[in-house]
């Protein structure tokens, strides 16, 4: 290409760029550049090389590239030992990774992926530099996890060829990759990245540019609602982790997860998403996080976070409470939530408990209520029960793994002890919390579903891709919308409405996507 007056290669005409767009990423002999040889960059280089692509790997620190190649070699050797990669494939993949000294050597690349520090000015400067190096039909992709693709591309001469290509750490183990279209990204660019993602052995999902994209948005619900619960004095870290892991079936509790990721990574991302959404209450950070960040209690990397790892200790489990086989009081179950009462009565029958069947409890009965999104106090007052004898039971999930109960501020200790002993009499652990709208699991799951519904409502991604991305990227037992099918859209809607009424906080308002499908009695995954 002939240079222009600035000395830079002239850009091809728009017409020429359009006619060449279908051939921008050839099926054979594709050469890609990866800038940044840290954990993400080396992971991307590895999956690209095993996917048959030649990778030019560079970093501002030459030693980082050498370390990355060594790390990739070890990773591939482990795959060979496991029998998932043969010697020939291993040798071929390693041969495809070619260290280069600087970005100026990426001119032959048809795709360049940046995986540098998460700073907007650094990324913008790098992309501007790349435009003077690569050809006009080269795709430039950012592995950013939280910065707007539109904003990153805004300083480029040709933002239409810039897109997000967000992998998850560790890249070789995490199958998900988010393909993000900026406001000016041509559709064919995203199409090409979807194809390349599949060739790398990933499961790509297509997303419109939005704060936190998809997975990081949904992930806020899990950790933030847990943090708000603890900061309100409702439960301990251990309680929350035990309930969400054992009862709700999440791979790890939210505070174990935070310690694994590190607060220095999680909290700034949370603040960025909150700011970018112009302080949308659903993403409101918790004061619990900033204090621990300031104290340097970041998690496993500092050997102290929400748990102590100074002696390689695992997270401490919640205290197990086991009691007598029966209650010293007669037991009465409220029918205010008929379906939930039925589940509780079925459990009590297996515990060989005599249940009062009157419309009102006797004068000494242990009064059990089963609220959805409500607290024990409101149930007692609304139903005309003696609050000193009321204990609430969370019946939303499987009652055979761990059970959660809570009392009103005036429930007598003997009744709390009786309920705790009763529900632990078959050897199942019991978690006791302070009074709270929505217990632990109800609150967190409802918020996950609500944020997923918000993403669907905004058309950031399809309903199917939302659930696919969250299950792959976060390992949740259900996608956010899939929780509606598992638990009932109407149930989740009621939980949110009751929490909003009790808290008076728009944080808990039900998204219209969720509200409409709950009112219609259809799946949250229904795409309109």
Residues annotated as catalytic (active site), given as ranges: 145, 166, 178, 216
Contact 450, 511 (CB under 8 A): yes
Contact 362, 356 (CB under 8 A): yes
Task: Provide the b/e sequence for 71-91 (b: ≥16 CB within 10 Å).
Answer: bbeebbeebeeeeebeeeebe
How would you classify the pairing of strands 176-181 and 203-208?
parallel
User: How many Cβ atoms from other residues are within 10 Å of residue 17's Cβ?
Assistant: 18
CA 375 vs CA 170, 402, 438: distances in Å: 40, 19, 7
- Per 3-state DSSP, the chain is made up of helix, strand and coil in percentages (nearest 5) of 45, 15, 40
Secondary structure of 255-317 in the HEC alphabet? HHHHHHHCHHHHHHHHHHHHHHCCCCHHHCCCHHHHHHHHCCCCEHHHCECCCECCCCCCCCC
* Residue 318: closest CA among 399, 395, 253, 397: 253
Q: How far apart are CA 179 and CA 158, in angstroms?
A: 18
* Torsion sign (Cα): 144, 32, 201, 17: positive
């Amino acid at each position: 290409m002939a240079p222009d007056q600035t000395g830079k290669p002239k850009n091809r005409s728009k017409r020429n760029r359009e006619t060449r767009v279908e051939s921008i990423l050839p099926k054979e002999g594709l050469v890609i550049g990866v800038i940044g040889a840290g954990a993400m960059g080396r992971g991307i280089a590895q999956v690209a090389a095993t996917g048959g692509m030649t990778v030019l790997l560079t970093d501002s620190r030459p030693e980082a590239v050498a370390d990355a190649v060594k790390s990739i070699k070890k990773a591939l050797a482990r795959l060979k030992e496991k029998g998932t990669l043969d010697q020939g494939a291993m040798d071929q993949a390693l041969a495809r990774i070619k260290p280069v000294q600087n970005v100026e050597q990426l001119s032959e690349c048809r795709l360049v992926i940046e995986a540098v520090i998460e700073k907007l000015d650094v990324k913008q400067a790098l992309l501007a530099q790349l435009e003077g190096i690569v050809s006009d039909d080269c795709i430039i992709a950012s592995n950013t996890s939280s910065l707007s693709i539109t904003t990153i591309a805004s300083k480029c001469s040709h933002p239409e060829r810039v897109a997000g290509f967000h992998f998850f750490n560790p890249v070789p183990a995490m199958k998900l990759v988010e393909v993000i279209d900026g406001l000016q990204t041509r559709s064919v660019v995203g199409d090409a990245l979807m194809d390349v993602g599949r060739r790398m052995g990933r499961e790509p999902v297509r997303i419109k540019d939005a704060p936190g994209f998809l997975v990081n948005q949904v992930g806020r619900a899990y950790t933030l609602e847990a943090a708000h619960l603890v900061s309100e004095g409702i439960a301990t870290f251990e309680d929350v982790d035990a309930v969400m892991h054992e009862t709700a079936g999440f791979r790890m509790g939210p505070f174990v997860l935070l310690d694994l990721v590190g607060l220095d990574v999680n909290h700034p991302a949370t603040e960025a998403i909150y700011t970018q959404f112009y302080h949308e209450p659903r993403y409101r950070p918790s004061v619990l996080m900033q204090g621990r960040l300031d104290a340097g209690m970041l998690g496993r990397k500092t050997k102290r976070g929400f748990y102590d790892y100074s002696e390689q200790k695992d997270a401490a489990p919640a205290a197990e409470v086991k009691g007598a086989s029966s209650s010293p009081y007669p037991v009465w179950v409220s029918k205010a939530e008929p379906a939930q009462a039925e589940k509780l009565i079925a459990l009590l029958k297996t515990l060989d408990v005599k249940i009062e069947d009157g419309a009102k409890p006797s004068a000494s009965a242990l009064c059990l209520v089963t609220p959805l999104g409500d607290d024990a106090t409101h149930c007692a007052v609304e139903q005309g029960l003696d609050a000193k004898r009321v204990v609430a039971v969370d019946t939303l999930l499987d009652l055979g793994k761990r059970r959660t109960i809570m009392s009103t501020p005036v429930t007598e200790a003997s009744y709390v002890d009786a309920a705790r002993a009763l529900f632990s009499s078959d050897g199942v652990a019991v978690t006791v919390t302070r009074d709270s709208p929505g217990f632990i699991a109800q609150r967190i799951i409802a918020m996950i579903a609500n944020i997923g519904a918000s993403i669907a409502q905004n058309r950031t991604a399809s309903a199917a891709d939302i659930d696919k991305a969250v299950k792959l990227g976060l390992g949740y037992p259900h996608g956010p919308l899939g929780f509606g099918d598992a638990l009932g859209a109407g149930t989740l809607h009621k939980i949110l409405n009751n929490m909003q009424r009790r808290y008076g906080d728009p944080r808990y308002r039900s998204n219209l996507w969720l509200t409409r499908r709950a009112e219609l009695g259809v799946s949250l995954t229904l795409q309109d």
